[in-house]
Amino acid sequence: MSLPAHILPTSLGMHSQHDTEVTIDDVLDELERLTEESFTAHEKSIVIAEKAREVRRQLEELALELRVHHNIIGRLTVAAMERLAESMDLLAAKADEMRVHSLNAAEESEAAQYAMADEYRPVQQATADANLIVPSARIHNEG
């Protein structure tokens, strides 16, 4: 008699529905990577906002210099300088927004990492202590 493929045991002897290539270590490593990248994005967004504001200040100084010392007061020049300044304001605002969102992402992925470690590490240790290959399904232990 042959059994359907979904009932055949895997190399661990488990039912195939429980077989996975993902481990808790993989998930925790990925969450740690996401946390680090989010903190990096947070730090970069602070720098971007500062630099955008500095460029805006320099544009204002340049516009003043052109108007006062070089008598460049044309309508197109003024409009171009205003547009560049507005672009720097927008860039700074978006960087500030990114700063908030990236910090939230970092904190959430870090919290998820710790929560998963707290939840699953004891199960891993208990499995190893009992000389089991895999833990039993939680539903078998609830009740």
Residue 141 belongs to a domain: no
Residue 14 belongs to a domain: no
Distance (Å, rounded) from C-alpha 132 to C-alpha 124?
A: 10
Residue 27 belongs to a domain: yes
pLDDT tens-digit profile of 57-87?
Answer: 999 999 999 999 999 888 999 999 999 999 9
Q: What's the domain range around 57?
A: 23-114
Residue 128 belongs to a domain: no
Distance (Å, rounded) from C-alpha 22 to C-alpha 19?
A: 9
- The first and second tokens of residue 34, run together, are 């996401």
Domain count, the chain: 1
Closest CA to 39 of 92, 120, 119, 113: 113
pLDDT tens-digit profile of 95-128?
Answer: 999 999 999 999 999 999 999 999 988 888 888 8
Residue 89 belongs to a domain: yes
CA-CA distances (angstroms) from residue 47 to 44, 60, 87, 136?
5, 20, 16, 49
